[in-house]
Amino acid sequence: MRLDKFLTETGAGTRSEVKKWIKSGAVTVNGESAKRPELKIDENRDVICCCGQTLAYQAYEYYLFHKPAGCVTATEDGRHRTVMDYLTETARKDLFPVGRLDIDTEGLLLITNDGVLAHRLLSPTRHVPKTYYARIAGRVTEEDGALFAQGLEIGDDKPAKPAELVIIRAGEESEVTLTITEGRYHQVKRMFEAVGKKVLYLKRLSMGSLVLPDDLHPGEYRALTAEELHDLKQCSV
């Protein structure tokens, strides 16, 4: 890896800033001053110091993000703020959101640069559960729950896979949780439309073993703990 790339990815500064550090002699590789930003280093073995601080490199990073409504699940968008715009404390450019949440949907979103784990979590053959809380216009019934459990026709080539619908409160406006094992386009909204109802509010509570903490507010994020990461990898095997 290039020395300047290593420094930016470990948060030492922007590309222009780290070039200044290197030029000034503030960066050492294995105890020797490094003068060239294009110097190739072994990020896993070499000891890199910048301004007297030893920097550690992580190949993969994992963040739990509480997506607010109004931002798009993308790395770039010319019209709206993206979920990546909220990650202000990491310098990595290879991070991406795992799966999608609609612009008006809130809740748990995993952001990482681990493509293998992302593929496992999103693969329909792995059946990784995703649970949502929703407010629904209209009375949700046990009959609706039975239809969800069978698998609904939502306009695709194949019916949606069986899902678990739990009614929290039924009335003119109902509250439910719904657990699905797929991630089709607008899937939750289309499933309720299939039984003649409309989603008013939607929030993802969990993905696999990863649960949205009560103290993580919309727009906030934090790194996964070692235990969370271990459990998440186990549930996607």
Cβ atoms 94, 83 nearer than 8 A = no
Catalytic residue among 46, 77, 85, 102: 102
Q: How many CB atoms lie within 10 A of CB 104?
A: 11
Handedness of CA 223, 226, 229, 235 (dihedral sign): negative
Record the tokens describing residue 27, joined without a space.
Answer: 């960066």
d(CA 11, CA 5): 10
Residue 102 known to be catalytic: yes
Determine the distance from the C-alpha atom of residue 129 to the mean position of all C-alpha atoms in its chain, rounded to a whole number.
Answer: 15
**196-226 exposure pattern, b = at least 16 Cβ within 10 A, e = fewer:** ebebeebbbbbbbbbebeeeeeeeebeebee
> Where in the sequence numbering do the catalytic residues fall?
102
